[in-house]
């Protein structure tokens, strides 16, 4: 809007850019004053602040600054949804993480084309969005990254009225610590997609005795026969677990020890790769750090028969391992808020979720509702209760994330 452009205010006066800014500032001051007096509920505060154009993250911060202390138990009413159906949605996703046959079905049912683009790590996704990239409609960040993105104001709150299939989400995934509406002013920023574990796949034709520890990945006899993920939290998490520490440590000394043993291990590592784990397994690497679904994809690629199943061993090490959940979120700068909600809701349909799991080979968070539509093979690596007792979920480590990034930089550059 140029200096000469004007809009009409509530009282009919003409307003230029400076007037608009002044008016908004006065409205915000008045809103905070009313909140301090207790004249409005938290729900009303959130609704009015959103309508003034603030991001949901800014609303939460403003509520705290204004001393608005009502328990955030009410769900905010978001601005009305523009229900124009888009021609295309851009799905920014991990590689091999969506059944391609479902694209055709979604197009047939809704008239909307799905175009996929890919990222290889949560940090890559975060950097892209923080740099201002726009035009993505649905993204798939992992647990801790959802929390970081909420705080960063780069994802939008979801309108749960447009997501009725959320009812089929497993209870343990509905209000996770990284996206709990009670902590977000009644707002929800993600719905779960898949979940799983991080361990390693062992080729039993190369190393016949099934391993149960992270220790073999530091054994010199397997030099250049080891592949690791190219992911700072996963790999540092592995080293922390090997040392007996939390994968979410906030202690610099513990993180330094993890960094040092990874630098010590580096000459043994053939590659760091978060994209081609299945290929690494099929091509005969002895040990491949990977996610559970990668093992099932490798077995399927090798024929899916009993011989292929007997050839590969997926280890969830006894020192502990990481349990992860990937969600679907709506990034700021999307092309179609309405279309994104349609797509996310469709993916949470139990039948669609089951068919997606049959191709992706990870564990659907639409559990157990999707199980009747899921090939039992896709559920074979689901962790037992005993294994889950050794698992630890990733959490947002706040400002200490820079220490993780620096440790990972030193490992990769060593």
Rounded to the nearest integer, the mean pLDDT of the chain is: 87
Average pLDDT on 247-256 reads: 98
**Whether the Cβ atoms of residue 89 and residue 343 lie closer than 8 Å to each other:** yes
Average pLDDT on 214-230 reads: 97
Residue whose tokens read 């440790």: 407
pLDDT tens for residues 357-389? 999 999 999 999 999 999 999 999 999 999 999
CATH of domain 195-323+392-413: 3.40.190.10
| Separation of alpha carbons 231 and 221, rounded Å | 24
What are the start and end residues of each CATH 3.40.190.10 domain in the chain? 88-192+327-365, 195-323+392-413
| Separation of alpha carbons 346 and 252, rounded Å | 43
Residue 183 pLDDT class (50, 70, 90 cuts): confident
**Whether the Cβ atoms of residue 348 and residue 356 lie closer than 8 Å to each other:** no
Beginning with the edge strand found earlier in the chain, give each strand of the sheet holding 138-139 in spatial order: 113-119, 88-94, 138-139
Residue 51 pLDDT class (50, 70, 90 cuts): low
Q: Would the pLDDT of 223 be above 70?
A: yes
Residue whose tokens read 């047939």: 108
CATH class of 88-192+327-365: alpha beta
| Separation of alpha carbons 155 and 330, rounded Å | 5
| Separation of alpha carbons 321 and 255, rounded Å | 16
> What contacts 66, CB < 8 A, 6 or more positions away?
31, 32, 35, 36, 45
pLDDT tens for residues 125-170? 999 999 999 999 999 999 999 999 999 999 999 999 999 999 999 9
> What contacts 402, CB < 8 A, 6 or more positions away?
none
**Whether the Cβ atoms of residue 191 and residue 143 lie closer than 8 Å to each other:** no
| Separation of alpha carbons 326 and 169, rounded Å | 13
pLDDT tens for residues 259-315? 999 999 999 999 999 989 998 998 999 999 999 999 999 999 999 999 999 999 999
Residue 303: the pLDDT is 93
Pick 184 or 265 by higher pLDDT: 265
What are the phi and psi torsion angles at 175 (to 5°)? -140, 65
Q: Would the pLDDT of 224 be above 60?
A: yes
**Whether the Cβ atoms of residue 59 and residue 46 lie closer than 8 Å to each other:** yes
């Amino acid at each position: 809007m140029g200096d000469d452009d004007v809009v009409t205010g509530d009282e009919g006066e003409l307003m230029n850019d400076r007037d608009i800014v002044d008016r908004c500032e006065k409205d915000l001051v008045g809103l905070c004053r009313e909140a301090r007096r207790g004249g409005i509920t938290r729900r009303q505060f959130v609704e009015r602040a959103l309508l003034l154009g603030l991001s949901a993250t800014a609303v939460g911060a403003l509520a705290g600054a204004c001393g608005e202390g009502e328990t955030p138990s009410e769900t905010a009413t978001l601005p009305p949804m523009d229900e124009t159906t888009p021609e295309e949605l851009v799905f920014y996703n991990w590689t091999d993480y969506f059944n391609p046959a479902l694209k055709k079905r979604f197009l047939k049912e809704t008239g909307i084309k799905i175009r996929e683009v890919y990222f290889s790590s949560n940090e890559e996704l975060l950097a892209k969005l923080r740099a201002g990239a726009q035009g993505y409609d649905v993204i798939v960040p992992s647990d801790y990254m959802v929390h970081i993105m909420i705080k960063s104001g780069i994802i939008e709150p979801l309108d749960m009225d447009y997501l009725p299939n959320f009812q089929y989400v497993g209870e343990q995934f509905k209000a996770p610590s990284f996206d709990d509406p009670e902590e977000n002013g009644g707002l929800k920023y993600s719905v779960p997609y898949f979940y799983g574990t991080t361990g390693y796949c062992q080729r039993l034709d190369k190393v016949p005795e099934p391993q149960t520890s992270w220790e073999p990945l530091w054994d010199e006899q397997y030099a250049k026969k080891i592949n690791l993920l190219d992911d700072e939290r996963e790999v540092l998490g592995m080293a922390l677990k090997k040392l007996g520490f939390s994968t979410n440590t906030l202690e610099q000394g513990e993180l330094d020890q993890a960094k040092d043993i990874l630098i010590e291990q580096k000459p043994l590592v053939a590659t760091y790769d978060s994209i081609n784990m299945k290929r690494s397994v099929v091509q005969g690497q002895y040990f491949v750090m990977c996610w559970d679904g990668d093992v099932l994809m490798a077995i399927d690629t090798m024929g899916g028969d009993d011989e292929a199943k007997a050839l590969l061993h997926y280890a969830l090490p006894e020192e502990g391992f990481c349990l992860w959940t990937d969600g679907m979120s709506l990034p700021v700068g999307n092309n179609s808020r309405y279309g994104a909600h349609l797509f996310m809701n469709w993916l949470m349909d139990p039948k669609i979720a089951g068919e997606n799991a049959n191709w992706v080979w990870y564990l659907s968070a639409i559990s157990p509702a999707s199980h009747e539509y899921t090939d039992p093979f896709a559920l074979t690596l689901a962790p037992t209760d005993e294994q889950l007792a050794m698992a630890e979920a990733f959490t947002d480590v706040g400002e200490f994330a820079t220490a993780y990034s620096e440790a990972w930089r030193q490992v990769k550059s060593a």
